[in-house]
Amino acid sequence: MTEFQKTESALVNDLEEFLRAFKDRSGNYKYFDRINNMMAINSTSLIVDYIDFDTFKPYLAKKITDDPDEMLEAFNKAVFTILYEIHPDYAEEIQNNIKVRIGNYTVQKGLREINAEAINKLLGVSGMVVRTSEVKPLAKKIGYKCLNCGDINEAQLKGLVLKKPSKCKQCSEKELEMDPETSIFIDFQMVRLQELPEDLPAGNLPHYLEVTVIGDLVDQCRPGDRILLTGIVRIEHEQQSQFKTIIFRLRMEGNNIEYLGGRAGDRDNRTTERLEISIEDEKQIFAIGRKNNAYDILISSYAPHIYGHEVIKEVVLLLIVGSVTKKLDDGSTRRGDINVLLVGDPGTAKSEMLKFAAKIAPRGLYTSGRGTTAAGLTAAVIRDKSGIMMLEAGAVVLGDQGLVCIDEFDKIKPEDRSALHEVMEQQTCSVAKGGIVATLNARTSILAAANPLYGKYDSFKNITENVNLPIPLLTRFDIVYVIRDIPEREKDHLIASHILEIHRDTERNTQFVIDIDLFSKYLAYSRTIEPKLSIEAIDKIRNYYMKMRNVESEGMITVTPRQLEGLVRLATARAKLLLKDYVDSDDAERAIYLIQTMLETAGVDVNTGKVDLGVLHGKPQSEISKLKLFMEVFNALSGQDKNDVEEKSFIQELTQTGRFTEDDAKTFINKAMANGQIYERKAGYYAKA
């Protein structure tokens, strides 16, 4: 026993020496200063950099991996000893809560590699938080009071097991009751960590691991966060198993949380890149960005196995890079993410575009229509087997600061799809279920693909009649592109040759212009640039906006301020993609061209053949003005006394205006009856409702 105590105290002395004597490159006593500041910042934990420890005490660094319990306990005592010398009162107060956390830990494993060999070892694991529970108090030590002699019997927590004493130490009385005064409690939370999508081997289910965090680690991470967790692997009994005594499951006890790409303290600037961009990569990125034809190279590198569709590839690239989210002084934000909807005939490679986008985006998720619910898209509140209510993140929350691709957008049930209204404009996702009221961040771009209502796109109908989507949702997309499959001899020949060539020689035809890894790094790097608008670009966008507002036919509105913001976002994204510091007139021109292309495909009013953005907003102006005229004629015939209007004379009056044919007039009468504007009082006679 003395031997063990001696080694333990020797260990504490060694660790104390490290904490007192370690100097950083500037010559400051790094850890001594941190312990000195603990009282000032009201902290109970100290983060020790593993690399510092490894250089100072290499033989102990190995021990911390194999015997973490003993080492961390000794570390806590060493910190307490030093703190007691400086601030004795504060040290006494937090004695039971002092924790040493190991940062920058190099012994890392994937979630799949954690097995029986790792039990009771300290490991680093990267993953995505998909679920967090509410915070509960956990008993570290419970005092049981003997009802006979009043003696206190203590039970200490080991792992997650705390055994109540069967009888009193003094008088062997079996009646014991808990004494809150002598018990110590600490905050406790359960977190579920899941494999990162990019680490997941194809065709496998993602592995997950339950993690328990205590003390000041609770509420450090939210669903959707990508974290690097350092912790000790534990085992606990499988609850529902018939082999209760022999089957166990793995669980992890959290020691430290770091955010991927950023340190734990840097919560505001959490980055989404897991891609380490080296200096060599940066040189290659700038080499591509400086080329005269950089823009064409980037577009041709996007999904090279798909022939054509250059404009759509360009828009998807701009969507991946995104614009700059602006925070205003009054606390509101201007959305920087671009949303795009592709509507098109079957077999026009829409799903391939989406899959490729999810693959190369720094943080991309892909989901498809029928298998998607509102809870799966936003967030769900579920009851854990322990009875705790937990918040589980859905696709748009997990894709925060990234991209979510939703295929078969028209097949999602309307009540589930309505959850996206808030996500696409406010960029948050609010949940109020099971007593949990929360607003989660969902700063994500949405790339959606939908099929037309009747299989193929009907060019004699406007887009709202072609796609089964609510108008408020349609207006939230910055760009809506219609992809038509029109037979053209020359184009069809090229597409056929391209597809057949891929089948003949897979190597040659999917050779990227830019290597796919470098391409991903390029996009990740360009996301970090924040270009400013130049005066020329502002003038260009303003002039185009004013021109579009001032169209020949009276009362016809083609663009709204929402499109103006869309233009700014597209122009900024193009400047980011080309690594510029300023958004110049070329970027503004290209943004105008992309909006114009959209208006020429999706925004043409089929009744007049003219461009009219009202088509995307529900009713084209031609229909609105006709309806106005229809009601004016009806009211004139009805007169002051609101007499019944005869169908025959009404149709005659309408055809005399020159805006209606006889068939048109009958259609409008049926529409007005369906909308409840007029009703048939007796056969052939109508009155205003």
pLDDT single digits (tens) 364-392: 788 887 778 878 888 888 777 667 777 77
Cα 591 from Cα 574, distance rounded (Å):
8
pLDDT exceeds cutoff 80 at 496: yes
Per-residue pLDDT band at 617 (split at 50, 70, 90): low
H/E stretch holding 429 reads strand 428-433
- pLDDT for 203 equals 79
pLDDT exceeds cutoff 50 at 262: no
Higher pLDDT: 511 or 74? It is 74
Query: What is the rounded average pLDDT of the residues 477-503?
Result: 84
With beta carbons less than 8 A apart as the criterion, state whether 397 and 441 touch: yes
CA-based max dimension of the chain = 113
Handedness of CA 243, 246, 247, 248 (dihedral sign): positive
Please give the DSSP secondary-structure letter assigned to residue 559. -
- pLDDT for 266 equals 39
- pLDDT for 211 equals 92
| Side chain identity at residue 7, one-letter code | T
Chain segment 271-322, per-residue pLDDT in tens = 444 456 778 877 888 887 788 888 888 888 888 787 878 888 888 888 888 8
Per-residue pLDDT band at 139 (split at 50, 70, 90): confident
Predicted TM-score (pTM) above 0.85? no
pLDDT exceeds cutoff 70 at 573: yes
Per-residue pLDDT band at 4 (split at 50, 70, 90): very low
Per-residue pLDDT band at 270 (split at 50, 70, 90): very low
Chain segment 83-114, per-residue pLDDT in tens = 888 888 888 888 878 889 998 888 888 888 88
With beta carbons less than 8 A apart as the criterion, state whether 408 and 367 touch: no
Per-residue pLDDT band at 559 (split at 50, 70, 90): low
- pLDDT for 509 equals 56
Q: Tell me what the pLDDT averaged over the chain comes to.
A: 79
328 class by beta-carbon count within 10 Å (0-12 exposed, 13-18 middle, 19+ buried): exposed
Chain segment 650-678, per-residue pLDDT in tens = 777 777 666 677 667 777 777 777 666 77
Query: What is the rounded average pLDDT of the residues 149-172?
Result: 76
- pLDDT for 372 equals 80
Query: What is the rounded average pLDDT of the residues 476-502?
Result: 84
Give alpha helix (H) positions in 98-200. none
Query: What is the rounded average pLDDT of the residues 570-583?
Result: 87
> What phi and psi, each to the nearest 5 degrees, are found at residue 609?
80, 5
Cα 236 from Cα 268, distance rounded (Å):
36
- pLDDT for 506 equals 66
pLDDT exceeds cutoff 70 at 621: no
Place of tokens 């229509």: 369
Chain segment 45-82, per-residue pLDDT in tens = 888 888 888 888 888 888 888 888 888 888 888 999 98
- pLDDT for 609 equals 57
Classify each residue of 391-412 as buried b or exposed e, where b means 16 or more C-beta atoms within 10 Å of its C-beta: bbbbbbbbbbbbbbbbbbbbeb
Higher pLDDT: 14 or 390? It is 14
Residues 6+ apart with CB under 8 A from 587: 537, 571, 572, 574, 575, 578, 580
Chain segment 164-179, per-residue pLDDT in tens = 777 887 787 777 888 8
With beta carbons less than 8 A apart as the criterion, state whether 282 and 526 touch: no
Per-residue pLDDT band at 231 (split at 50, 70, 90): very high
Q: Structural domains in the chain?
A: 2-103 (3.30.1640.10), 114-259 (2.40.50.140), 279-601 (3.40.50.300), 621-688 (1.10.10.10)
Per-residue pLDDT band at 240 (split at 50, 70, 90): low
With beta carbons less than 8 A apart as the criterion, state whether 495 and 308 touch: yes
| % of residues, the chain, pLDDT over 70 | 82
